[in-house]
Structure 1
Amino acid sequence: MMPSLPHRFLAGGLTPVAAALLLALTGCQPKSATPETTSIAVPATAAKEAAATRDPAAIWPKLAIPRQGNAEEEAKVAKLLAAMTLEQKIAQMVQPEIRDITVEDMRKYGFGSYLNGGGSFPAGNKHATPADWIKLAEAMYQASIDASQDGSTIPTIWGTDAVHGHNNVIGATLFPHNIGLGAANNPELIEQIAKATAREVMVTGIDWVFAPTVAVVRDDRWGRTYEGYSEDPEIVRNYAASIVKGLQGAPDADFLGNERVISTVKHFLGDGGTEGGIDQGDNISTEQQLFDIHAQGYVGGLQAGAQTVMASFNSWHGEKIHGSKYLLTDVLKTRMGFDGLVVGDWNGHGQIKGCSNDNCAAAANAGLDVYMVPTPAWKPLYENLVAQAKSGEIPQSRIDDAVTRILRVKVRAGLFEKPSPAQRPLSGKTDIIGSAEHRAVAAAAVQQSLVLLKNQQALLPLNPTQKILVTGQGADNIGMQSGGWTITWQGTGNNNTDFPGGSSIYAGIKTQVETAGGQVQLSNDGSYQQKPDVAIVVFGEQPYAEGNGDIDNVEYQRGNKTDLALLKKLQADGIKVVSLFISGRPLWVNAELNASNAFVAIWLPGSEGHAIAPVLFSDKDSKVQQDFRGKLSFSWPNGPDQTKVNQADADYQPLFAYGYGLRYADAPEQAASLFRAPLTETSTSHTSVSALPLFERDIKAPWQFVLQSAEQSASVSSNQQTLGSVKLQSFDRKVQEDARLISFDGSAKASVALRSNFPRDLRAFGNKEAVLSLMLKVDSPVTAPVELSMLCNEQCSASLDVSPQLQQFTAGVWTELQVDVSCFTSKGVDLAQIAVPLAISSSSKLQLSFAELKLLPQGTADAVKLQCPQG
């Protein structure tokens, strides 16, 4: 689920157009002149034809789903439905976010549910107390059952992303992220974690958790890899069942009782298998692969009684899942037999071809029951849904089916009988949040998730009576070790004081060593006053969440090997090095492995960093306290471009195979075998970079066109669109609509830009020869500057005036212009975080056409070259 980013003032000397483009990128568009759409989809007719030839019964099973056929529950649902007006029904289908509605809005409309996104808190206060959460939950509940304005007394439900504990709440127990739990391979432990999470959530009066994520990740470039338990569908299937049971209770015992919450199996379907590992991208698996690999978490979760399923942002063969009637209705509901509700993801309905955030009948007709609309667009969406239901564009039968499913979940959860949030048994019992009992479960999970990859000469376990240096960015950094979806959405902006009751990795080491009589030093940069016997270096990925975590290959610290330099410095000083690697995915770290005497993948362990020390250290008598137990649930790459390495691959050649993981008894023999010679630190494929089309006949995913004129911005959703002083229209150059004409009228500075929902990693084009290539045609005299711009995520951008080159073009003749990428990077553009790879801007009257836009690893001789300006 993707929270919106807040408005921000953009510093760093950005041009007004650049600043406006970045506002557009973050979704904070001052004025939207046309409906938004971010879809790159196959035509609706083609999708319908493909769906018409499919037979769900050929691949998809009928599932044995519990809690179905209860006559008393169904009669209650039918009675409630029969008494509802159309407006009340539509309100049940709309789910706004706490930043965008008030208690009075709830009283007026009676929304069926609402949510808080990642980094969203009561009153916008990051340090809101449990009492603040309960106060808001109680106020919303009371407003929902107040019939004075909407005539409805149906209680609302609050949904939250408690994905590794109640991770939005200060002081909550934060468990390891899913990738670490997969390495533990312990379904019983998973159930305990889910049960503890449910209890902490219930303390704050919340009824609904958007978990578990059951993505089966195929490409480790995906920024949500750490949300997957394993590349193995079997682990995912078993874990899904365990976490649903832990959150909701067993279907035949304590089901959705006073210490349980409604669970959500997500994201249906195929989010872990998109091409290139691009978040919200396209999955082109066959239907059999879709079931065998990507659907197994639903087999486990639904048969454990999961009451809700979240639709996925991604597409399947070009069709957005939010608009796929075949998958949402024919497969999930009809064939598999799911009778709960399907909720959308963060304005995911707006990505369907022809839809916008505030207008999308297609999603309901496909089978979406609840629209997650976490922006002010909730109000026009509600009004449009009412109108579409009245006109018959959305059949009344579909509305009634959706509301029946919503009410069914509420009845099963006992919401009509349970007291209000503030009066429930666990409400306000703040000692449960971050309790010693829950932290003990988290500590066990940390210890079982650690994977020992290297242990040269049996260096581990360390004797704690030695002199120990602890260093690295992650050593005393609870936020870094917890990763994304930690208090804030991306997990950034936190410090150790934001984790009361939590502990850093250093804190646990300090306790172990000093208790045994040893000495410990903490250093950020590896410096020391007294030479240590051993250095423990804690390093790895900084926190990120979806989109921002996408990368284009799996080399760790490509182009900025600061951690490797630290490791080498310590070894050069004659100090043995133990590396603790924090990461949300396997990464190519051959050089770092070579520079380490021992190497441990610790993943994203969460708030209980202290739990690592008892595994690393023996007792003072050199006896093992706790052995390593974790085994890789993701294969480890043997090259920076080995981004897709899964155990069933025909050419399976990982560095560490799926299931690898040393124990102390194994370490000397296996380590000697694997590390007899240094690992290869270069890759021949690493230097082979292919051209990256940005626009070729059509815009290429994940990019989309956006128009900017003065303070207005709008995504392009048609083949001819005007915004203020700029117009973009398609035309035929060689084939149908393979070119675009930009018309600037000169009344205001304007631009046409390519943007992505998230910044993209384009470091593959960081070599000196790489160029940005544009096929252009000048259709009117060039009399003023024309700028080409490239923009990073927030505060870096570069613009080049290409008017001198364009003035040399023959009017009406297609000409290729190539610009060295270094022209942009020399001005501070960071290729690791590209939000806009190209914007074309002008303040004067001009007509300019383009037909091909691409990044090339090196230039060609027959193109016009732009010389980088000096200084």
Structure 2
Amino acid sequence: MNEQAEPPLSTSNLSSEGIDNLPTQQAQHQTVHDIDIWPQLINPIAKDVALEQKITALLATMTLEQKVAQMMQPEIRDITVEDMRRYGFGSYLNGGGSYPQANKHATPQDWIKLAEDMYQASVDDSLDGSSIPTMWGTDAVHGHNNVIGATLFPHNIGLGAANNPALIEKIAAITAKEVMVTGIDWVFAPTVAVVRDDRWGRAYEGYSEDPRIVKDYAFAIVEGLQGSIKGDFLSDQHVISTVKHFLGDGGTIKGIDQGDNIATEQQLFDIHAQGYVGGLAAGAQTVMASFNSWHGVKNHGNKYLLTDVLKARFDFDGLVVGDWNGHGQIPGCTNESCPQAANAGLDIYMVPTSAWKPLLENTIKQVQSGEISQARVDDAVRRILRVKMRAGLFDKPSPAQRPLSGKTELIGHSSHREVAKQAVRESLVLLKNNHNLLPLSPKLSVLVAGDGADNIGKQSGGWTITWQGTDNQNSDFPGATSIYQGIEQLVTQAGGQAQLNVAGEYKDKPDVAIVVFGEEPYAEGNGDIDNLEYQRGEKRDLALLKKLQSQGIPVVAVLISGRPMWVNPELNASDAFVAAWLPGSEGQGVAEVLFTQANGTINHDFSGKLSFSWPNTPLQSELNVNDENYQPLFAYGYGLQYGQASQVSNALSEDNLASTTQLLPLPLFERAVKAPWRMMIGDDNSVDAVVSSVQSNRVVTIKTFDKQVQEDARVVSFNGQAMGFVGLVSNFPRDLRAYSNADASLMLTLKTANKLTKPLSVGMACNRDCRADIDISAWLNDKPLNSWQPVSIDLQCFTQKQLNFANINTPFYLSTLAVATVSFSDVTLVPNSAAQADIRCPAVP
């Protein structure tokens, strides 16, 4: 670990022993606030009287409409350049998986053009009377991860295992440069959640369960993104950063994303607030409010936390931005109207859907009526203008003219990739190494197996080109290396042999097998799970490990994951085991640690240490160092180096503690497609994987949209020119007989925009010649248009049409010849529900 100076803010309420004396988070009801728990911090940026006078003068010239427009942050899919010219939004964003012209393969020039066009429209006062420059925010959370060819660093969980703040600062500075190449001003990073329950789908966005690491990293990454307060702060080499999500997002009950945190107020500070102590000490200019609640109060509407704690006690004079329509989750609010959020202290509404226009209009009316005070609006706009002036947006050239803009050679530059490879090497944690199998000689014959071996998208995880990190191919990552490619290059150069076979097949028996496997990519709540067992009920990767081990081949397991997982069976079936986390675009870094140099000397030793405790059972999801009855399989801080003896049995318990008779609902589409399924659209001639938020073929158009939360539903338009379909497909079949034998039904939620004139079928399939579907058009035509309707279909309806549930590769599709617009969400197989199904087909005697 590299040393870093203590951030210049008081943390007197946190004991010097840090995590060693932290209280265990208990389910205690918070009824009375104690503001004295929160230290009075001192803003590290001295007040600039001249700057404040400029803001006051500008405020005096602004109309109410111009002020409220500064508080609106729409998304690029929902506004045009003309909208920017007309309204002069204070900022705008691109969400994960959103690109200029809805083109996943948009070039840096495309990004720059959009930034330039939006900027010029914002300073054009011909329609709105305002010439205040707008600013563009983006989720560059492990590199400039929305842009093809960018350097992708390990996700935060891996960086935490490296425990190297100086390296983190370098990563942040590189990210800032690659972002600035595309003309963007503002990065929504770092995430400083302290994860308490590893079931949370954002666990990989946390650096550690230790708030000390999170605090140090927050300081480092903010300084890397923004520059040093004492040096090049917010220069033309840096971007505005955002410390997020305020507050307690990593501590919700059961790790449920956007759920409720019931920590005591002391725990909220000691555990969850330390990243803000570090980040604000480095001068972070923006803080993002969190979706979660604290003791039942949504943070977007929590005046005590946003105003009394953050702005007053923490002396934060930057701006507070909301998360994706987070204001709409406050009781009494909608996406289109929420005075409660502004009154609580929210300065910018992130309103990424078409709700931006009614929200703007309603907010203006609420100020006019006094529901939101003029003083609160003036404070919010003052904060927004303060950040813009500190960042030099009034003085800098337009985005296309800035020093780094258009320097496309910086995106994925070799020197950036070298830093990313260093981060990969330092993030790897060696959990097991029987008989010092590792490091391997590069002169061996090496079999590389597993579906993660040659899969850059899988090794990069969520927030990678697409929001979920799914639907990517290796060709989407120019300049990157898969783990296999890194191994193959190193071994071949040394005179060895490397062969890739995902299934572990070979002609000539290899000296060793490296099996790369792990979680499929996910983001946010789509990654929430109910226990930590890896591949529960479908141990494909375990079978591969056992097969190779039974053939007398030494096996090195490399686990790709966004959290610690219960992998006792996989550990037993491996001779060496490496936690690789989500390494990003530079898979070569893995090879550089696994293998020696050609002459046998160590190339790079393992140095990563667990920043998350590793579970001993699949139910140990709340497992944090110094908890009462702390009994991990691998303790916080564990990590072998070469030559150290393994400390784990080869006969670990494989009892998953789950009832073999309990069958749980199986989500197929819940906010997003669930692995191993992929969304496809097709017609009678072709089938295409859905790889973007908007996609069409000659018959079908599919778009993501928000039903309740971000992109949790799909709207599908059929033009009637041929039979069109949308469905969930897997490369390999699933045995779903347990559901067909358990009185299950297929449940989903639908709505239609027009009466159906031809059949609309809900179906399931084994292959082209093995399918069954049910026409639900009559059922839907009896329901109101544009109204969400839950519908359930007894699986016996498919069984009676000879569908083979032992071999399902398409568990759900919609198809029609009609001209129709149909929306769907929440597709699930639910056991023991057939008796209550809307469409029933009782078993034939």
Range class of TM-score, shorter chain: 0.7 to 0.9
Query: Match for residue 843 of structure 2?
Result: 869
Query: Is 1:519 the equivalent of 2:501?
Result: no
Aligned residue for 1:579, secondary structure, equals strand
Does residue 393 in structure 1 map to residue 366 in structure 2?
Answer: no
Shift of the alpha carbon at 1:70?
Answer: 1.2
Q: Does 1:206 align with 2:179?
A: no
CA separation of 1:821/1:117 partners in 2, compared to 1, >3 Å: closer, same or farther? same
Cα distance in 2 for residues equivalent to 1:429 and 1:375:
32
Give 5+ residue unaligned stretches, structure 2.
Answer: 1-28, 666-670, 672-704, 710-735, 748-761, 766-770, 777-791, 813-827, 834-839
Is the aligned partner of 1:132 residue 2:110?
A: yes
Structure 1 residue 210: deviation in Å?
Answer: 0.1
Change (3 A) 1:391 1:365: same
Moved >4 Å (runs of 4+): 685-692, 713-717, 765-772, 789-792, 796-801, 818-835, 854-859
Distance 1:561 1:239, change over 3 A: same
Which of 266, 286, 291 lines up with 1:308 in the alignment? Answer: 286
In the alignment of these two chains, the number of paired residues is 708
Equivalent position SS for 2:119: helix
> What is the Cα deviation at residue 635 of structure 1?
0.6
Alignment of 1:477-492 (within 5 A): 477-492=455-470
CA distance in 1, matches of 2:149, 2:743: 48
Distance 2:259 2:147 in 1: 31
Which of 305, 321, 336 is the equivalent residue of 1:358?
Answer: 336
Q: Is the 8 A contact 1:490 1:545 kept in 2?
A: yes
Partner of 2:209: 231
Structure 1 residues 231, 365: CA separation in 2 closer, same or farther (over 3 Å shift)? same
SS of alignment partner, residue 528 of structure 2: coil
Given that 1:349 and 1:363 are in contact with CA atoms closer than 8 Å, whether structure 2 keeps it comes out as yes
Which of 84, 89, 92 is residue 111 of structure 1 equivalent to?
89
Kindly provide the CA deviation profile for residues 267-296 of structure 1, in whole angstroms up to 9, marking residues without a partner as x.
011111111111111111111111111111
Alignment deviations for residues 625-667 of structure 1 (CA, whole Å, 9 cap, x no partner): 110000000111111111111112101111111111000021x
- Residue 335 of structure 2 aligns to a residue whose secondary structure is coil
Alignment CA distance shift 1:419-1:714 (3 Å): closer
Measured against aligned partners, the alpha-carbon deviations of 1:191-235 in whole angstroms (never above 9, x if no partner) come to 000000001101111000000001111111111110000011111
Deviation at 1:57, TM superposition (A): 2.7
| Aligned equivalent of 1:13 | none
Give, in angstroms, the shift of residue 684 of structure 1.
3.4
Alpha-carbon distance in structure 2 between the residues aligned to 1:388 and 1:311: 22
- TM normalised by structure 2 equals 0.78
Cα–Cα, structure 1 residues 829 and 187, in superposed 2: closer, same or farther, change >3 Å?
Answer: farther
Match of 2:270 in 1: 292
**Aligned 8 A contact 1:214 1:240 in 2:** yes
Distance 2:640 2:811 in 1: 39
Q: Is the 8 A contact 1:210 1:266 kept in 2?
A: yes
> Do residues 439 (structure 1) and 417 (structure 2) align?
yes
Q: Give the letter for the 2:326 counterpart.
A: G
**C-alpha distance in 1 between matches for 2:663 and 2:303:** 36
Q: 1:164–1:176: 8 Å Cα contact kept in structure 2? A: yes
Q: 1:211 to 1:791 in 2, by over 3 A?
A: farther
Question: Is the CA contact 2:196–2:624 (under 8 Å) kept in the aligned structure 1?
Answer: yes
Q: Partner of 1:402: helix, strand, or coil?
A: helix
Contact 1:56/1:330 (8 A) holds in 2 = no
Equivalent residue, structure 1, for 2:35: 57
Counterpart secondary structure, 1:464: coil
The offset of 1:622, in angstroms, is 2.1
Q: Which residue of 2 aligns with 1:683?
A: 656
> What amino acid maps onto 1:383 in structure 2?
E
Asked whether 1:382 is paired with 2:382, we answer no
Q: Is the 8 A contact 1:91 1:112 kept in 2?
A: yes
- Once residues 512 and 651 of structure 2 are traced to their aligned partners in structure 1, the CA distance between those partners, rounded to angstroms, is 21
The amino acid across from 1:681 in the alignment is E
Q: What is the TM-score when the length of structure 1 is the normalising length?
A: 0.76
Is residue 472–residue 539 contact of structure 1 (8 Å, CA) maintained in 2? yes
Alpha-carbon distance in structure 2 between the residues aligned to 1:511 and 1:253: 41
Q: Which amino acid aligns with 1:111?
A: F
121 and 195 in structure 1: CA distance in 2 versus 1, 3 angstrom threshold: same
Q: Retained in 2: the 8 A contact 1:343–1:368?
A: yes
More contact order relative to length (CA 8 Å, sep ≥ 6): 1
2:419 maps to a residue whose letter is V
- In structure 1, what is the equivalent of residue 815 of structure 2? none
Residues 343/770 of structure 1: CA separation in 2 closer, same or farther (3 Å cut): farther
Aligned twin of 2:59: 81
Distance in 2 between residues matched to 1:69 and 1:542, nearest whole Å = 48
Distance in 1 (CA, whole Å) between partners of 2:247 and 2:808 is 31
Partners of 1:790 and 1:654 in 2: how far apart? Answer: 45
Is the partner of 1:149 in helix, strand or coil? coil
Deviation at 1:530, TM superposition (A): 0.9
Report the equivalent of 1:542: 520
What is the CA–CA distance in structure 2 between the aligned matches of 1:649 and 1:94, rounded to whole Å?
A: 43
Amino acid at match of 2:551: D
* Residues 231 and 646, structure 1, Cα contact 8 Å, conserved in 2: yes
Is it true that 1:607 corresponds to 2:585 in the alignment? Answer: yes
| Displacement of 1:868 | 5.8
SS in 1 for 2:558: strand
Query: In 1, distance between residues paired with 2:199 and 2:796?
Result: 24
Question: What are the within-5 Å matches in structure 2 for residues 761-776 of structure 1?
Answer: none
Q: CA deviation at 1:126?
A: 0.8
Partner of 1:863: none
- Distance in 2, Cα, partners of 1:63 & 1:829: 62
- Residue 195 (str. 1) matches residue 164 (str. 2): no
SS at match of 1:526: coil
Over the matched positions of the two proteins, sequence identity in percent amounts to: 67
Give the corresponding residue for 2:550: 572
Q: 1:755-795, CA deviations, whole angstroms, 9 ceiling, x for partnerless residues?
A: xxxxxxxx9x97977989x9xxxxxxxxxxxxxx9999xxx
Provide the C-alpha distance between the structure 2 equivalents of 1:333 and 1:715, rounded to a whole number of angstroms: 33
Q: Distance in 2 between matches of 1:833 and 1:319?
A: 41
- 1:427 equivalent in structure 2: 405
Distance 2:267 2:91 in 1: 34
**RMSD in angstroms over aligned alpha carbons?**
3.8
What is the match of residue 616 of structure 1? 594
Q: Is the 8 A contact 1:325 1:367 kept in 2?
A: yes
Instruction: Find the residue that maps to 1:547 and give its secondary structure.
Output: helix
Superposition map of 1:496-507 within 5 A: 496-507=474-485
Deviation at 1:64, TM superposition (A): 2.5
How far does residue 621 in structure 1 lie from its aligned partner after superposition?
A: 2.7
Which string of whole-angstrom CA distances, capped at 9 and with x for unpartnered residues, describes residues 232-283 of structure 1?
1111111001000000011121000001000000001111111111111111
- The answer to whether residue 530 in structure 2 is matched with residue 552 in structure 1 is yes
Shift of 1:855: 12
Matches within 5 A, 1:230-379: 230-379=208-357
Residues 134 and 526 of structure 1, relative CA distance in 2, 3 Å threshold: same
Is 1:183 aligned to residue 183 of structure 2? no
Equivalent in 545, 565, 587 of residue 587 of structure 1:
565
- In structure 2, do the counterparts of structure 1 residues 575 and 608 end up closer, same or farther at CA, with 3 Å as the change threshold? same
> 2:557 is paired with a residue of what secondary structure?
strand
